[in-house]
Every structure is written in C-alpha cells, then in structure tokens.
Amino acid sequence: MNADPTIDSSSGTLLHPSTHMLIAAEIMCFAIGLPTVTGTALLAIFFLTALGIPSRTEFRLTWKFIKILGLGALFLFLIHAVRWNPPGFSREGMLIGVESFTRIASPVIGVIYLSRRVRSEELFAMLIDCRVPPSVILILFRTLWLVPRLTERMDEVVTAQKLRGMRVETTMQRIHALIPTLNPIFSSMLTEISMNSLILSSRGFISPGRKTHLTALRYRPVDIAVITGLTFFLGVLWC
Amino acid sequence: MKKRVSVRDRFETCLYYKHLDIASSIHHHFLLPLPGPSTWAAMDHRKNNHMNKTSAFHGTLKREKATVRQINAFDAGLIALCAALNVSIGYLVNLLKLPIYLDSIGTVFVAALCGWQYGAIVGLSALLVLSITAIPTALAYGGTAIVIALLAAGLARFGFLKNLRATIIGGLIIGLGAAAASAPITTLVYGGVSLAGSDAITALFRAMGYSLWKSVIFGKLLIEPLDKLVTSLICFSLVQSLPSRMLERLSKK
C-alpha cells in the first residue's frame, strides 16, 4: 500500500496562508494610508472580524496583544492628549494620538489575525513552497523552538539560586544575580546547539536540494476572488 | 544528446556531498586535524569523475552549494540561540524586576565575536520573532539592531569585550548609537510610544513641557546607555566564562 503521507490542511479554512498574509498586509497598509477616522474604523472592523472567526490555531496571543494595545493607548493619551500646564485635554493632541494609535494597532491586529488563522506547520510548508533557503527557515523555527526552552531553564536556574539564598532586594543585587544565572544557561545551550547542528548536517538539512513537507497547500479560485474583491473594495474606499 | 542520470549516480553524489558536510562539521565541532592532501585528492578525483558523468545535475548542485554553504548548521544554530536569548531575556528581566530591557545581548555578543553581519542577522531574527510572539511593532526597529551590530563589531577592534574599560566605554557608545537610531522611529512612526519602559519617562518629560522630539530623545538617552552598559558587561562576563576552544571557534568566523 502506498498511501500519500501529506496532510491536507484545507480542513477548517478556505484560504491559502499567503492569502491570509495578503489580506492582513492590505488592510494594514490601507488603515495607515486612509484618513484617520476611516482608517481607524476599517481597523476596528478588521479586528472584530478577526475575533469573530473561530481560531484554527493553538496560539493564545489575543489577550496579550490587547493588553499591549491598551498600554500603547494609555501612553499615547498621556503624551499627546493630556495638557499638564494648565491642566486639561488637547483636541489636536487627541487626533494625533488616534493617528499614532492606528499605526501601532495595524501590525498588532494583523498579527492577531494571522495567529488565529495560520498554523505553524502551514507557515513552514508555505516557506518551503516559496523556496526560502533552508538556513533561514532553520533560524526562524529554531528561534521559536528555543525561546520557551530558554525561558524554562532561566526559571529553573533562578529558582535554584533563590533557594540557595541569592539576594534580590536592591537593583544592583538583582543585576549581580543576573550574570551567574545567564552564564551556565548560555554555555549549556551552546553545547546543545553544537551537537544539534551536527545531527542536522548529517541529515543534510542545509545541503542543497528542494526540501519536503507533510502539509499540502493549494491555491483555489476563492483565494483569487477574495484578494480581488478586497482590493476592489479598499480601492473604492480610497477614492 | 542529454545524458540520463541514473538513480545510483544521484545517490552517490548525494552521499559525496553528505560526507563533505559531515566531515566539515566534525572538523568544526571537534577541531580534528584536516584531512591530508591525499584524501582531498581522492575526493576531488571522485568529484571530477561524477562531474564528467552527470554534468547538468552536478552543475546545479555546485551552484546551489555555493549559496547554501555561506551559513552552515552551526552558524544557523548560533544565530537562533542568540536571537532566542534576545527574546527570552525579557522573561528573566521581569522575573528579577529589573528596570532595563537587555534585549540585545545576543546581538552584541555575536557581532563582537563573529562580525557585524552575524550580529545584524541575530538582531533582525530576534525582532521578527519578537514581533510574532510579543510586540508586533518591534520589527520597525530593525535599523537600530543593525546599528548596534555595526558599533559592536567596530568597537571589538579596540578591545570591546576583551578588557573591562573598553567594554564600559563601548557599552556607553552603543547606547548612544541605539538611542540615536531608535528615537526617530519612535517619534515619527509611533508618536513617541515604543511599548517599552522608556514610555513613562517620555510621558514625564512631556508633562514637564518639553516637545515630543526632546521628550523621546531624553527618555532614550536616560535608558539606552544604561541598558547597553549592562548588556556589554553581561556579554563581557559571557566571553570570560566560555571555554577557550569555543571562543576561538566563534572568533574565526
């Protein structure tokens, strides 16, 4: 029996990952390029739509990014809208603040949308299909893989240091505590990376030739229809 | 007439290149002596033999190899590790409740040891990952990462990360460079907000009556030199703690 090992990722989505990226990029560009009120309204609609469509991924970044947006809005309000001497609010400052908020919110909402629609294996497959060099894919995905591992190790080492009686009362003591925490983590990870790279070299990951992946991605007529329709709609809005 | 490439030829060619990769990796990783001239001659003879047999196929391989060879698996791993360090250090900073970011340790370390190109790749990769996972506005600061890499690599010629005095001075210079590179982005693109610790200081200067540009620049000048000084001291300590064999290997890049 010679079954096809590739997994069709189309279940639960109609669109190709690159179409999702194009949608996010188009809306981000138009939100920044359109007049402030229209751009902000477009972005708000996109944000609500992104939240309204059920998430296909295991990423839980939405709440974190909403908090970032809240923090950005607060500081923009304090920097632009509040007048301290004499105390009061500035209408012009408020408008500048809203314009700056649109610029900050555009990438944040774009990433929220993509994190809810594109799975990591689809991103990997798309990069392979786009002939991105394997070394670039390796750097990107290994960084994503290493971040939680490093965080976990840092947690372990800091807990161990605290149990040993590490003093962290003042800022200087905390900075002093940082150095003996980082050194063993970095050295051990460097050794691990060294061995891992040997394994990857022996498996020929960096060697020439087209790489394969297990997720089948297909362009459908609906991809072209969505992109054309969206571009037309945004063009009309622009005019 | 086009020659047909047999499966055996393809397999042997792949095996040959795979052997080369493994041999170079073993040499790189364990610093074994290089193969003698006879070994290389034998390999070359075998390569020429294959080239004559299947020139089209080999030509493609050779052309691809020239581009892919530029970064090997260890380099890619090192870049990923340093980028991950840049990203995940935020967790440690939060854990120890420090008032600085320390988000360019990997960039400074790699740029000083391996060259500015490596530092720039580390900085840009870290910003890309950071913008996917934590702060989506971070990618706009790619220019700052390149400036930090350039300064760290340039200062390494004057003893940066080799002696303490040069490291302290270098850290302050990198901080000033980073402040100069990031202030225009924060002011012009994001209206004075960088979604980092210096926003509170910017708001404070703004409340004192300074213009937006001055508030952002003063805020950056207060935070960045201190941040990059601590970053440089941590990198100095990392360099001191690394085994000399690993350090030598990194410095050869």
pLDDT tens for residues B104-128?
A: 999 999 999 988 999 999 999 999 9
Q: Given this model, what pLDDT does residue B119 score?
A: 93
CB proximity under 8 Å: B 178-217 to A: 189-193, 195, 199-200, 202-203, 206-209, 212, 215
Could you tell me what percent of chain A has a pLDDT over 90? 10
Residues of chain A in contact with residue B128, where contact means CB-CB under 8 angstroms, are 140
- Closest-CA residue to B129 (of B184, B79, B187, B94): B79
How far is it, in rounded angstroms, from Cα B108 to Cα B118?
A: 10
**A201/B76 Cα distance (integer angstroms):** 11
pLDDT digits (tens, 9 = 90+) for B162-194: 899 999 999 999 999 999 999 999 999 888 888
Kindly state the average pLDDT of the residues B194-220: 86
Cβ-Cβ pairs closer than 8 A, A with B, add up to 227
Which of B82, B114, B137 to mutate against chain A (most A CBs within 10 Å)? B137
Q: Do β-strands A82-84 and A215-216 pair in parallel, antiparallel, or remain unpaired?
A: unpaired
The whole-angstrom distance between A63's CA and the closest CA on chain B is 11
Helix (H, G, I), strand (E, B) or coil at B27: helix
Instruction: Mark yes or no for CB contact A197/B67 under 8 Å.
Output: no
Examine the pLDDT at B36 and tell me if it is beyond 70: no
B226 close to A (CB below 8 A): no
Calpha distance A4→B12 (Å, rounded): 27
Q: Would the pTM of this model clear 0.95, i.e. be above it?
A: no
Q: Which residues contact A87 (CB under 8 A, 6 or more apart)?
A: none
- Measuring CA to CA, which residue among B185, B34, B133, B10 is closest to residue A64? B133
| Closest-approach residue (CA) in chain A for B105 | A182
- DSSP helix, strand, coil percent of chain B (3-state; round to 5): 80, 0, 20
Higher pLDDT, B16 or B57: B16
Residue A72 has pLDDT above 80, yes or no: yes
d(CA A53, CA A37) in angstroms, rounded, equals 24
The closest of B212, B190, B176, A70 to B203, measured between CA atoms, is B212
Comparing C-alpha atoms, which of B181, B149, B167 is closest to residue B232? B167
For residue range A10-20, list pLDDT tens digits in order. Answer: 555 678 888 99
Residue to mutate among A58, A79, A132, with most B CBs inside 10 A, is A79
Mean pLDDT for the stretch of residues A42-58: 88
Please name the member of A135, A147, A198 whose beta carbon is closest to the beta carbon of B88: A147
Spatial distance between the Cα atoms of A236 and A238, rounded to a whole number of angstroms: 5
Q: Report the range of poorest mean pLDDT among A87-96, B63-72, B214-223.
A: B63-72
Model confidence band, residue A9 (pLDDT cutoffs 50, 70, 90): low
Across chain A, what does the average pLDDT equal? 84
- Cβ-Cβ contacts under 8 Å for B249 (sequence gap 6 or more): B28, B31
Between strands A82-84 and A7-8, the pairing is unpaired
Residue the block writes with tokens 């909403």 = A66
* ipTM for the predicted complex: 0.83
Q: Does B30 touch chain A (CB under 8 A)?
A: no
Chain A residues in contact with B113 (beta carbon < 8 A): none
Tell me which residue of B177, B172, B170, B179 sits closest to B198, measured CA to CA: B179
> Of the spans A199-208, B63-72, B76-85, which averages the highest pLDDT?
B76-85
Place of tokens 């809306």: A27
Instruction: Looking at the complex, report in whole angstroms how far the Cα of residue A154 sits from the nearest Cα belonging to chain B.
Output: 7
- Per-residue tokens: B171: 């850290």
**What confidence score (pLDDT) does residue A11 get?**
52
What pLDDT band is residue A165 in, cutting at 50, 70 and 90? confident
| A207-229 pLDDT per residue, tens | 777 777 888 888 888 888 988 88
Is the alpha carbon torsion for B131, B134, B138, B144 positive or negative? negative
Picking from A201, A202, A205, A211 by the largest number of B CB atoms within 10 A of its own CB, the best residue to mutate is A201
How far apart CA A217 and CA A225 sit, in angstroms, is 17
Please report the residues numbered 33 through 92 in chain A whose beta carbons come closer than 8 angstroms to any beta carbon of chain B: 61, 64-65, 68, 71-72, 75-76, 78-80, 82, 84-85
A chain contacts of residue B134, beta-carbon cutoff 8 Å: 64
| pLDDT of B124 | 94
Per-residue b/e over A42-62, b at no fewer than 16 CB within 10 Å?
bbeebbeebeeeeeeeebebb
